[in-house]
């Protein structure tokens, strides 16, 4: 088998290209898809063309197809959203959403990301607690793309709601305190005004008598 591959360069290129594309599918982010497409393209042309092509011609074909694949890779987005990468590297997984395909604990679990590339299934774990199968999740730490640290979207939503309620309660309390303080100041000013008016009335009474 190995001798057949070494003796048939187009078949060798085709085989290596398919292996690289498979590796990219299993581990998105390695950017092996461009090289894989270039090798597969050159291998297919070399296998289809009846005339045996020299290794130099095959190398040139690989380079040309690789450049074309690179252009397509950067210009077109097959996963949605113009301008994003064609494969999902580990850094871009932060903030990605999906759902748990099995129960996730602090030790192990599995999730499927909504935009996870060719292979959207990832090993995952939680920072604390558990996430049941089917719950929606968000990636907190990509972990290099090996094991993702995730959190339940429901838990994050509840935390934000609780925080908002506490802030509203604090704002309402501050407003009430300000209103009470203003009312107290008004009453004190009124009392002082009445106290100042008393001596004036007494003086006028003494003069009239």
CATH number, domain containing residue 96: 2.40.50.140
Q: How many CB atoms lie within 10 A of CB 205?
A: 9
* Choice between 98 and 53, residue whose per-residue pLDDT is larger: 98
The total number of structural domains in the chain stands at: 2
pLDDT of res. 28: 62
Looking at the structure, do residues 59 and 102 belong to the same domain, yes or no? no
Say yes or no to pLDDT of 105 above 50. yes
pLDDT at res. 104: 94
Domain holding 113, by residue range, is 91-155
Task: Specify whether the CB–CB gap between 15 and 7 falls below 8 A.
Answer: no
pLDDT in tens, 54-69: 778 888 888 888 888 8
3-state secondary structure of 4: helix
Same domain, 7 and 70: yes
Please determine, for residue 85, whether its predicted confidence score (pLDDT) is greater than 60. no
Q: Indicate whether 124 belongs to any domain.
A: yes
Structural domain includes residue 54: yes
Question: Tokens 């005339």 appear where?
Answer: 51
As a whole number of angstroms, the longest Cα–Cα distance in the chain is 137
86 pLDDT higher than 50: no
Give me the pLDDT at residue 91, please. 67
Report the C-alpha gap between 33 and 96 in whole angstroms.
Answer: 22
Q: What is the pLDDT of residues 5-34, one digit of tens each?
A: 545 777 888 888 888 888 877 766 556 778
Confidence (pTM) = 0.40
pLDDT at 84 over 60: no
Q: Which residues contact 150 (CB under 8 A, 6 or more apart)?
A: 100, 104, 109, 111, 124, 125, 126, 131, 137, 138, 139, 140
Higher pLDDT, 143 or 189: 143
């Amino acid at each position: 088998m190995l001798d057949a591959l070494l003796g048939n360069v187009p078949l060798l290129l085709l085989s290596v290209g398919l292996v690289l594309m498979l590796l990219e599918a299993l581990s998105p982010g390695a950017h092996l898809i461009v090289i894989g497409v270039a090798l597969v393209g050159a291998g297919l042309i070399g296998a289809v063309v009846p005339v045996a092509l020299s290794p130099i011609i095959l190398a040139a074909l690989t380079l040309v197809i690789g450049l074309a694949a690179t252009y397509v890779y950067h210009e077109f987005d097959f996963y949605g959203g113009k301008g994003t990468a064609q494969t999902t590297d580990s850094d871009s997984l932060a903030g990605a959403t999906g759902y748990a395909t099995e129960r996730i604990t602090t030790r192990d679990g599995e999730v499927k990301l909504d935009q996870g590339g060719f292979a959207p299934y990832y090993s995952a774990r939680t920072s604390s607690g558990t996430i049941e199968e089917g719950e929606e999740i968000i990636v907190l730490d990509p972990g290099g793309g090996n094991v993702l640290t995730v959190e339940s979207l429901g838990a994050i939503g509840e935390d934000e709601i609780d925080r908002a309620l506490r802030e509203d309660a604090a704002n309402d309390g501050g407003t009430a305190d300000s209103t009470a303080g203003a009312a107290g100041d008004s009453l004190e000013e009124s009392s002082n005004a009445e106290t100042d008016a008393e001596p004036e009335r007494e003086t006028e009474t003494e003069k009239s008598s």
